[in-house]
Amino acid sequence: MKNVEIKATVKNIGIIIDIAKKLSASEGIVIKQEDTFFNVTQGRLKLRVFESGDGELIYYERPNIEGPKLSSFEKTDIPRDNVVGLRNVLEAALGSKHVVRKVRRLFLVGQTRIHIDTVEGLGDFMELEVCLKEGQSVNEGEKIAEDLMEKLQVHKDNLISGAYVDLLSI
């Protein structure tokens, strides 16, 4: 699976939430997440746990550059009965880097997921994930992301290159 992503800092979360509500014609969905990142030699591997106790194991590769970038990923659902055991096995085998806790507001606009995140210890951010359709080029995904950036009033100087875990590790 592939998508085009951008991530940016947010100066006024209220304004960007209001714009996202209008663009998506929805109130959005609030999702509490805890992501444990594990040591791997390439890409990133994280176990995401939701408030319900269910989880997802996600592996992804994405360049650390500002602006739209291609992200390739694999993920699988983990039932709550297996989350703790899986975390223990991964920590024993790989070691963990950091835990990222966030409250995410999710808005859907066409083929794009708009995430407005409040990250514990870091602040407020916005992330776009343009889910590429079969045969759709990265260039098309980048244009969609740039158009939404403009509509959301996200400026290029607010873009960040890495993941939240990278910012917490500094």
Spatial separation of the C-alpha atoms in residues 142 and 16, rounded to whole Å? 20
* Paired tokens of 20: 């996202």
pLDDT tens for residues 12-69? 999 999 999 999 999 999 999 999 999 999 999 999 999 999 999 999 999 888 888 8
Is the pLDDT at 124 greater than 70, yes or no? Answer: yes
Distances in Å between the alpha carbon of 123 and those of 21, 22, 34, 116?
Answer: 20, 23, 15, 11
DSSP string of 33-78?
EEEEEE--SSSEEEEEEETTS-EEEEEEE----SSSEEEEEEEEEE
Cα–Cα distance, 94 to 5 (Å, whole number): 27
* Contact residues for 94 (Cβ-Cβ < 8 A; gap 6+): 38, 39, 40, 45
pLDDT for the residue 20: 98
pLDDT band of 168, cuts 50, 70, 90: confident
CA separation for the pair 158, 64 (Å, rounded): 15
Structural domains in the chain, sorted by start = 2-168 (2.40.320.10)
Q: Mean pLDDT over residues 113-138, rounded?
A: 95
